[in-house]
């Protein structure tokens, strides 16, 4: 195992960087898209609610791999050539945003409806009340589940291995087939994933306890 870290250090580091990079990019965009659909779901407009419901249900019930492969295989045929990293990150963003939308929506619903009514009665528009009164309270509730979504995102980023995204899992396969020492390689890769996910998961558990 030490030999693997020693011989393939630069590959591992590159993979680690790519995994982290695509997770952070996907997190930022899926937070924006997810929050948008969560707000759509709570608007008074029936049209927006239906749109949001369809988006969430469709992408929650289709495997991430199918979405990612769609962007890797189908989009280059009709639209534009994109590389594996981009296809993987777009797939991850779309998939995760559906889960984040569901999380944020439950956060918004857990805010006392009196808050919205009070804000409206004080003369704020619906959007102002949402933006300045409801959302700040909702986000406090959803921080632990959002953290768990980020952990899932880091784990799910391993699908980049399917589309040559040069992430940790991809480099792991390269190293495994080069060194022929599959067992130790996968243990090394596992340790690198745990460096990201394990502290986050303990931190989220601590936050959950503190907020409860």
Nearer to another protein, 57 or 117 (CB): 57
Nearer to another protein, 60 or 140 (CB): 60
Question: Closest Cα to residue 205, out of 157, 137, 151, 158?
Answer: 151
We find the least distance from the C-beta atom of residue 132 to another protein, in angstroms, to be: 32
User: How many residues belong to the chain?
Assistant: 212
Which of residues 2 and 77 has its CB atom nearest to another protein in the complex? Answer: 77
Supply the minimum distance, in Å, between the C-beta of residue 198 and another protein.
5
Closest contact distance (angstroms) between CB of 94 and another protein is 12
Q: Compare residues 90 and 134 and give the one whose CB is closer to another protein.
A: 90
Dmax (CA) of the chain = 69
Residues of the shown chain interacting with another protein in the complex, contacts defined by CB under 8 A: 57-58, 60-66, 69-70, 73-74, 77, 151, 154-159, 161-162, 169, 172-173, 176, 181-183, 186-187, 189-190, 193-194, 197-198, 201-202
């Amino acid at each position: 195992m030490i030999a693997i870290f020693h011989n393939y250090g630069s590959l591992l580091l590159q993979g680690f960087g790519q995994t982290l990079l695509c997770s952070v990019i996907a997190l930022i965009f899926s937070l924006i898209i997810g929050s948008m659909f969560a707000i759509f779901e709570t608007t008074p407009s029936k049209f927006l609610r239906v749109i949001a419901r369809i988006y969430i249900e469709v992408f929650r019930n289709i495997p991430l791999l199918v979405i990612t492969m769609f962007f890797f295989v189908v989009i280059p045929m009709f639209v534009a050539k994109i590389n594996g990293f981009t296809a993987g990150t777009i797939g991850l963003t779309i998939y995760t945003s559906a889960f984040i939308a569901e999380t944020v929506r439950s956060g918004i619903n857990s805010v006392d409806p009196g808050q919205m009514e009070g804000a409206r009665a004080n003369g704020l528009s619906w959007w102002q009340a949402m933006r300045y009164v409801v959302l700040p309270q909702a986000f406090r509730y959803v921080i632990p589940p959002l953290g768990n979504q980020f952990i899932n995102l880091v784990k799910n980023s391993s699908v980049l291995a399917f589309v040559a995204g040069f992430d940790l899992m991809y480099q792991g396969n390269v190293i495994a087939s080069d060194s022929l020492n599959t067992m130790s390689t996968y243990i090394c890769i596992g340790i690198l994933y745990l460096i990201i996910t394990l502290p986050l998961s303990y931190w989220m558990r601590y936050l959950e306890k503190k907020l409860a």
